[in-house]
Amino acid sequence: GQNIDQPTEMTATEGAIVQINCTYQTSGFNGLFWYQQHAGEAPTFLSYNVLDGLEEKGRFSSFLSRSKGYSYLLLKELQMKDSASYLCAVNTGGFKTIFGAGTRLFVKA
Amino acid sequence: EAGVAQSPRYKIIEKRQSVAFWCNPISGHATLYWYQQILGQGPKLLIQFQNNGVVDDSQLPKDRFSAERLKGVDSTLKIQPAKLEDSAVYLCASSLQDTDTQYFGPGTRLTVL
C-alpha cells in the first residue's frame, strides 16, 4: 500500500529551530512536496525535492533521502506566524500525488 | 497572475439535499484536482483531471459524487444526496502538469445538518 507518516503535533519556541519528519512508502517516487496550511486556509507550496540532499530557501530547508524513504522540513528562527500544519506529499508517478495527514506546529513565545 | 478561484466559500445544507461547487483553475494549468479535507486530516484526493479527461477517481464515492471539467478549464463537483459525513472543506487545486506544484483555491466549507 501507499503510506506517508508524519508526527501529529509538535511544539517549539519562538526563535528556535524545529525539524518535521516525513517517512513514506509508495509504489513509485517522482518528487516530494512540502506545503504549509494555516488554520482555515488552503495549503500553500513551500518546497520540492526530487534528488537526494538539502534544498534551502530562506528560513526553510527540506531534505530528502530516497533510499530511506525519508524527508524532513527544517524551520529556523521560528516566528509565531509559523504556527500552522505542514503537509508532506509524494508524487508517485502515474498522475498520483498522495498527502500525509499533516503535522500541526505550535510556536510559543 | 490570478489564483485558483472557488465558489461558494461556505455552504450549509440539510442531509439528502444537493450541492454543487465551482472551480476556475489558473490559466494554462492542464491538471485539476478536487480534494476533501476533514478537520485535522490531510487532503484526500477525490478526482483528478488532465485537461478534460479523468485520470484518477478511485476515491470518489460515485453513487453520490460527480464532477466534470468542461472544455478543460472550469470544473464543478456535485454531491447528491449529501450525508452528514460529507461535512468537510472541498479544495480545488491546479498544476501545469501532474508532477508540478499544486496551487490551491480557498476552499468551500460544507456543513451538512
- B42 — contact with chain A (CB < 8 Å)? yes
pLDDT tens digits, chain B, 113 residues: what are they?
A: 689 999 999 999 999 999 999 999 999 999 999 999 998 889 999 999 999 899 999 999 999 999 999 888 999 999 999 999 999 999 999 999 877 889 999 999 999 99
> Which pLDDT score is estimated for A49?
95
Give the pLDDT confidence score for residue B97 in this predicted structure: 84
Q: Do B43 and A91 touch (CB under 8 A)?
A: no
Mean of the per-residue pLDDT values for chain A? 94
B45·A97 Cβ contact <8 A: yes
pLDDT at A95 > cutoff 80: no
Q: Are strands A9-13 and A103-108 parallel, antiparallel or unpaired?
A: parallel
Q: Is B45 on the interface with A (CB under 8 A)?
A: yes
Q: What is the mean pLDDT of residues A25-47?
A: 93
Q: Residue A2 has what pLDDT?
A: 84
Distances (CA, A) of B5 to A40, A68, A81, B20, B23: 16, 38, 25, 14, 6
A60 at interface of B, judged by CB pairs closer than 8 A: no
A31-53: average pLDDT: 94
C-alpha to C-alpha distance for B109 and B10, rounded to whole angstroms = 5
